[in-house]
Amino acid sequence: MTDLTKGTAATGGPMVKAEQVHKSFGRTEVLKGIDLEVMPGEVMCVIGPSGSGKSTFLRCINHLEKINAGRLWVNGHLVGYRQVGEKLHELRDREVAAQRREIGMVFQRFNLFPHMTALENVMEAPCRVKRRPKGEARQQALALLDRVGLGDKAQSYPAQLSGGQQQRVAIARALAMEPALMLFDEPTSALDPELVGEVLEVMKQLAVDGMTMVVVTHEMGFAREVGDSLVFMDGGVIVEKGAPRDVLASPQHPRTQDFLSKVL
């Protein structure tokens, strides 16, 4: 479908590769040249103040936002475009949708279908998008709900579930498409504090299982314990990047120091 490029995940290259990614909304430049690589199996945590471009960058990775300049690859495929010679040609919606199947995304808000049970929410995409037989999709969905600790809630509707439980259903739903990459956009920020742990526990297990993850988060403990790399963004640029324990314990950049002094 899309041209394979140098440095594909299949050949040991990065799962995500960003080169000079720029994104503007009107006259406001939100991303000002992001260069980044995420290797297969890596858990990258992205931190920074509100408005720093973290969520926008995440949305660019799966082409929910179109970039204005630069290049983005996921699993060796150029995201949203086909390159012929030096020219970029935008992919059709159908082709973009096919690319997105490789990328699972979990949002702050759970976005579950309120009229469907937890089981039906998880089954929906495999049945509708992958044309998977219902019996097969049901079996997979039950296994995924079990995996996120909700095997006993398969027949519950979202309104009958706590926020933490809804977010775990959302994770199971994303996993149902068998993605190569999982994106998490502040997945615990809408939760009551006592429900945060149950969602982070599921994410920790995904990391143990080798899932490649990019996590925008305010949970510094999670970043320290689970992250392989930590990126601090501010003003649309990457200010500092390194091993989570190193960055959190002894940040090098004054802006990182200032931010962490307020959140740690």
Contact (Cβ atoms closer than 8 angstroms) between residue 63 and residue 80: yes
Model confidence, pTM: 0.93
Q: In the predicted model, is pLDDT for residue 180 greater than 80?
A: yes
User: What is the per-residue pLDDT for 2?
Assistant: 30
The pLDDT mean for the chain works out to: 93
Q: In the predicted model, is pLDDT for residue 1 greater than 70?
A: no
Percent of the chain with pLDDT over 70: 96
Going by pLDDT thresholds of 50, 70 and 90, the confidence category of residue 256 is very high
Among 53, 56, 73, 46, smallest CA distance to 240 is for 46
d(CA 157, CA 113): 9
Phi, psi angle pair for 234, to nearest 5° = -155, 135
Q: In the predicted model, is pLDDT for residue 3 greater than 50?
A: no
Contact (Cβ atoms closer than 8 angstroms) between residue 212 and residue 219: no
Q: How far is CA 103 from CA 24, 96, 120, 160, 184, in A?
A: 23, 11, 20, 28, 11
Beta-carbon count within 10 A of 107 CB: 18
User: What is the per-residue pLDDT for 11?
Assistant: 52
pLDDT tens column, 115-163: 999 999 999 999 999 999 999 999 999 999 999 999 999 999 999 999 9
Going by pLDDT thresholds of 50, 70 and 90, the confidence category of residue 9 is low
User: What is the per-residue pLDDT for 10?
Assistant: 53
User: What is the per-residue pLDDT for 5?
Assistant: 34
